[in-house]
Amino acid sequence: MNRASSQAQFDGQVSAIRDQFLAGLPDRILEMEALCVALRRAPDRGRIDQLGMHLHKIAGIAGSLGYARLGETARRADATVSQAPAEASAAALWHEIEAQVEQCLDDMEDALDALDRSA
């Protein structure tokens, strides 16, 4: 296989992963928004950790797929959650990450909007 066909194969694989990532965003947004609603009512470390798992996954892949801002926003919020001491107050931790999570959700919606405009 020559270099051009290897690159084309790689590009196709990345495109398939990007498509899968984008296809999963609506459900991920809904799940994250539901966690945010619950956290606004009653901050809970378990829900924050669930949110952190979503953020960690997004941080790990978004930048590689061309969504640098989304990846960076998710990475910052994930770092805040993962580095918080176990005894940290859930209310204080939620207060600290809420704006970052909202920005992450906005960036996810922007990615979907850009997809709709290009279709």
Question: Would you list the domain boundaries of the chain?
Answer: 3-118
- If you search the block for the tokens 């606004």, which residue do you land on? 40
pLDDT given for residue 119 in this prediction: 63
Residue 21 to residue 37: CA distance in whole angstroms: 24
pLDDT > 70: percent of the chain: 98
pLDDT given for residue 36 in this prediction: 96
Fold entry, domain 3-118: Four Helix Bundle (Hemerythrin (Met), subunit A) (1.20.120)
Cα distances from 104 to residues 22, 68, 118, in angstroms, run: 14, 11, 21
- Averaged pLDDT of the chain: 91
pLDDT digits (tens, 9 = 90+) for 21-74: 999 999 999 999 999 999 999 999 999 999 999 999 999 999 999 999 999 999
Quick one: tokens of 68?
């640098």
What pTM did the predictor assign? 0.87
